[in-house]
Chains A and B, each alone.
Chain A
Amino acid sequence: MTTTKRRRSNYPLGLLALRTVAAWGVALLLFFPLGWLFLTAFKTELQAIAVPPQLFFIPTLENFHEVQERSDYLLYAKNSVITSVVSTLVGLMLAAPAAYAMAFFKGKYTKDILMWMLSTKMMPAVGALVPIYVLAQKSHLLDTQLALIIVFALSNLPIMVWMLYSHFKDIPREILEAARMDGATLWQEVRLVLLPLGMGGLASTGLLCLVLSWNEAFWSLNLSAAKAGTLATLIASYSSPEGLFWAKLSAASLMAIAPIVVFGWFSQKQLVQGLTFGAVK
């Protein structure tokens, strides 16, 4: 306590004020769309398009009723949960062994393979749309959760391998070697030493991919419809050709993002840790 107080008082007051204002400014700027979305969700359609915009009004829950009635919110929510959770688990199961091999049994081309994997993320997704759509159609996977799970898992795979690779790389190789000397088989080495030591990395990688899959819109819009659609497709369905229903759109959006915002709030420490891993040290 005393140390922070002393440090603050040594800091030039003007600079401190400037920094505080700037920080609040940026934070508000980032928060504004979300805040506006939140307010609009509780307005009537008329209030939502009123000029000048209303800050104070009598909130209504009508939009939420209508969204659930017009389109089955719970179905979409269930699809979102299943596709994002399963695709993350599948992705982790594929990425962890790859990252282990790359981090601890580095070959001549390991760096090149990693770069190549990352480079696939630079290709616009729409470039692969036709082949993937045809593949999904021919294998009768259109509008199924399985199609979304496969596509989510594969499209997140490069990032997962990279994140896990950089986490595993920071585990001293001698610790794994010590386990081998102690008589551990490959599976025991992984289960008893690598996984407990890499748990932080696995958790933050999983969290990030969960968020990415949840928010994914392009593939869910193109590969799913009424049956396997995720919350992203639910939101999109409210921007219809007949015009925008701002209040209902906001209500649907709020319901779509609320779970992931709450989830992100509780796991923000791990998320930040995971994204800045290796960059700080």
Chain B
Amino acid sequence: MRAARLGDDEAYRRLLILVSAWLRAVARRGLAAAGRPREDCEDIVQETLLAMHLKRDTWDGTQPLEPWLRAIARHKLVDHLRRRGFADHVDIDDHVDTLAAPAAGEEGAGADARQMLAGLPERQRRIVEGISIEGRSAREVGARLGMSEGAVRVALHRALKALADTYRRGRS
């Protein structure tokens, strides 16, 4: 994170990948404890990653990173469970759901997220798709859409905020 603050993109990517693996374990445990189906797991991971990214200025650089990360993860997990109507007890019906539901891994997240991207304005959606799914740089996407690199970055930031809002309001 420190390196990322100094402008090291690769360090930031490594950190996010590392954190998402850790988050996946945390989310799985949380969902299991609450008796929720595991297919929500990748949703929670992505929502938490988005929050961590958008709120990264709230990390105090003089403090260790882990407590901060854990606080954000807990906040998002609780938020998610509350939204799904989990009221601090494990419901039998939820277990039935789990057993009946097909074991979905990360693949399940694909369809979900495409739905979420579809909720974005056309231009923002194409920018996010270009950068994340097609793996282009901001400059390439800008050239294709006839926008400056700076404008692409601004639009990307707005799109990420909008995605975080959609998660927060709970789309289901």
Q: Do A and B come from one complex?
A: no
Interface positions of A (Cβ within 8 A of B): none
